[in-house]
Structure 1
Amino acid sequence: MKDFNDCVNSYKEQLQIGDIREAYTGLVKYVTKLGTNLSKNLSKSYSFGSLFQGYMDYTYFYYSNQFLKDRKLKMGLVLNHLEMQFEVWLLGQTIPIQERYWEYFKNTKWNKKRTTKPQYSILETVLVENPNFNDLDKLSKQIEDGLVHVTDEIMKDIKTSRLTK
């Protein structure tokens, strides 16, 4: 196993090449602009939070509506850097809420391939598996359409669950 200093030297070398720095900056700028556009386009359905850059693992922002807030839930639009894909996550405000909703969602289509609860969420679903960053307008439309569709499905399942507020 490499020691920390070796890792830092490797990091420095990669930063000097420039591709990682340029890609990361571009990705964060894109997700920031995406959040702004979604906030404008979907303001009648959802409120959107600020961007969280993460630690080169996830870049994300939260979004919600009154239905979700009443249940102490929120959604997250996540750029998973390791998989380089966009995901939608359902999250709870507290661990007990996450656990309660996990008990319901663990046996649904959303978690059929999971045996344990996700680390940060109740469920995680892939929205865009292989994003094409050469056509950002098309990618943004794909994300917006998918976000609306997936969020509607998740909220429908929450209603069906009969879990109380």
Structure 2
Amino acid sequence: MSDASFNSRISAYKAIFSSGEIQKTYQDLVAIVQSLRTSFATEYKDQFSVANVLHGYIDFTYFYLQNEFLKNRKLKLAFVFNHQKIQFEIWLLGQKKDVQLAYWKKLKSTKWVNEEVMPEYAIFEIVLLSNPDFNNFDSLSESIHSGYRSLSREICNTLEDYE
């Protein structure tokens, strides 16, 4: 974070918002996540319950997916758009911090877990799609769904193996 005074940061903040581009871009990105959420709810209706889109501060836009297997273990998946990195991610979350910590320790030997530091909000965070092409929604959606199908299956299989 900048060492500049709060007032000087407010000036920079005001300048960023003055053109209206950031607001429009943010709204368009959230609309894409909402469209993806709708397609997830349709495509995976027999496999996962899909929650509504939630907004982090200005950093993340996301929705949760959960099936009976995950629910019974107090876990859920999060489909996340990371605004700072401009990428789509899948996170494995615990219902509470103690659940997250227990699964982080249990899954340390998997390729997704950073053995040194647990993420702030998740057990692990996987990049699903970096450098997305927002100009072709159909291609973007197919890439995301293809990656999600494979990853969600692999995550659930790994969890089963660690029972």
* Partner residue, 1:139: 140
Distance in structure 2 (CA, Å) of the matches to 1:68 and 1:115 = 25
Q: 1:28-67 maps to which residues of 2 (within 5 A)?
A: 28-67=30-69
* Partner residue, 1:129: 130
Deviation (angstroms), 1:18 = 2.1
Equivalent AA in structure 1 for residue 38 of structure 2: T
Local SS of the residue matching 1:149 = helix
Local SS of the residue matching 1:91 = strand
**1:149 correspondence with 2:150:** yes
Instruction: Kindly indicate whether the alpha-carbon contact (under 8 Å) linking 1:105 and 1:123 is maintained by their aligned counterparts in 2.
Output: no
Residues 152 and 40 (structure 1), Cα distance of their counterparts in 2 relative to 1, 3 Å cut: same
Instruction: Kindly indicate whether the alpha-carbon contact (under 8 Å) linking 1:39 and 1:47 is maintained by their aligned counterparts in 2.
Output: yes
**Structure 1 stretches of at least 4 aligned residues deviating more than 3 Å after TM superposition:** none
Distance in structure 2 (CA, Å) of the matches to 1:18 and 1:45 = 40
Distance in structure 1 (CA, Å) of the matches to 2:106 and 2:58 = 31
Instruction: Kindly indicate whether the alpha-carbon contact (under 8 Å) linking 1:64 and 1:74 is maintained by their aligned counterparts in 2.
Output: yes
By relative contact order (CA 8 Å, sep 6+), the higher-ranking structure is 1
* Partner residue, 1:160: 161
Aligned residues: 161
TM-score, normalisation: structure 1: 0.94
**1:99 correspondence with 2:82:** no
Of residues 1-10 and 147-156 in structure 1, the stretch that sits farther from structure 2 once superposed is 1-10
TM-score, normalisation: structure 2: 0.95
Superposed CA deviations along residues 112-152 of structure 1, whole A, max 9, x for unmatched, are x5511011000110000110001111101111111111011
Consecutive unaligned residues of structure 1, counting only runs of 5 or more, are none
Residues 88 and 55 (structure 1), Cα distance of their counterparts in 2 relative to 1, 3 Å cut: same
Distance in structure 2 (CA, Å) of the matches to 1:34 and 1:43 = 13
* Partner residue, 1:6: 8
**1:20 correspondence with 2:22:** yes
Instruction: Kindly indicate whether the alpha-carbon contact (under 8 Å) linking 1:52 and 1:60 is maintained by their aligned counterparts in 2.
Output: yes
* Partner residue, 2:72: 70
Equivalent AA in structure 2 for residue 26 of structure 1: D
Instruction: Kindly indicate whether the alpha-carbon contact (under 8 Å) linking 1:46 and 1:65 is maintained by their aligned counterparts in 2.
Output: yes
Consecutive unaligned residues of structure 2, counting only runs of 5 or more, are none
* Partner residue, 1:82: 84
Distance in structure 2 (CA, Å) of the matches to 1:97 and 1:55 = 24
Root-mean-square deviation over aligned CA pairs: 1.0
Instruction: Kindly indicate whether the alpha-carbon contact (under 8 Å) linking 1:106 and 1:117 is maintained by their aligned counterparts in 2.
Output: no
